[in-house]
Amino acid sequence: MICSPFAMRALIVVPALNEERSVGPLVADLRAESGKHGVEIVPVVIDDGSTDRTSQVAAAAGARVVQLPKNLGIGGAVQTGLRLAWREGFSCAVQIDGDGQHPPHELGKLFAAFRGSPTPDLVVGTRYGDDRQGFQSTVLRRLGSGWLRWVLRAVAGVRSTDPTSGYRLYGPRALALFERTYPYDYPEPESLAMARAAGLNITEVPVVMRPRTAGSSSIRSWRTAYYMLKVSIAVALCYARSARRPWPKAM
């Protein structure tokens, strides 16, 4: 392991697909955050088969860049980063969207929650906290989010206010779990159920999110039905699996 003046080293995983406009400033902001919270921050951009200059922009901004030769989707990209963090012995990994929705200055809140006692394995940044500042998403998305919240609570016993949030911190136990198995598409709610099934400690902190600065969301209206159905069944499967064995098996 590399010697560091800080007690903690965090790998910031930025999955990016054609985000050449927003990834540069994001990496610069992330690097500026390093050391601020007593945490050494190492940003890694997972270029999920971009056709633009995402990789070059990210490398020029000073990030580590993992170029996936083929597009894997968000789940495969995030897992690549989590694998890297697990193998290189990082204290934790933080997933942050490459489109600029998640402001890096909110990282401190995640780290503070991670230092709490008992140490959480998964810290989820929620935009539906007490103060309700910043970007709150559309009515339809909030409706879908409400359904997912209900499914997660009723089936998997996870109390989450923002199950689709992709702004989250993974502790060592979460890294060990997700390094082995991670959902491929629409992974956020399902991974919460998986974490719960594996007996991980999940906690939430309110964070302020911004509307996306560039690019388009991966969730489009005509796919919403598939999304809701798939995630609901996946959560139920996760619960059934955990009843049979405590640790989901990698395929």
**Site residues, other proteins (CB under 8 A):** 44, 46, 49-53, 55-56, 59-60, 64-72, 76, 79-80, 83-84, 87, 184, 250-251
Identity of the residue, 75 or 166, whose beta carbon is nearer to other proteins in the bound complex: 75
Q: CB of 239: closest distance to other proteins in angstroms?
A: 20
Of 34 and 160, nearer to other proteins (C-beta) is 34
Q: Based on CB atoms, which residue is closest to other proteins, 148 or 238?
A: 238
Q: How far is the CB of 46 from other proteins (least distance, A)?
A: 7
| Residue number, 84 or 209, with CB nearest to other proteins | 84
Q: How far is the CB of 47 from other proteins (least distance, A)?
A: 8
- Give the chain as a DSSP string: ----SSSEEEEEEEEESS-HHHHHHHHHHHHHHTTTTSEEEEEEEEE-S-SSSHHHHHHHTT-EEEE-SS---HHHHHHHHHHHHHHTT-SEEEE--TTS-S-GGGHHHHHHHHTSSSPPSEEEEESSSSS--S----HHHHHHHHHHHHHIIIII----S-TT---EEE-HHHHHHHHH---SSSHHHHHHHHHHHTT--EEEEE------SSS--S--GGGHHHHHHHHHHHHHHHHHHHHH-SSPPP-
For other proteins, the closer CB: 58 or 209: 58
Burial (CB count <10 Å: 0-12, 13-18, 19+), residue 148: buried
Q: Minimum CB separation from other proteins for residue 80, in Å?
A: 4
**Closest distance between other proteins and the C-beta of residue 86, in Å?**
11
Q: Which is nearer to other proteins, 56 or 218 (CB)?
A: 56
Provide, rounded to whole angstroms, the least separation between the CB of residue 21 and other proteins.
Answer: 15
Residues in the chain: 251
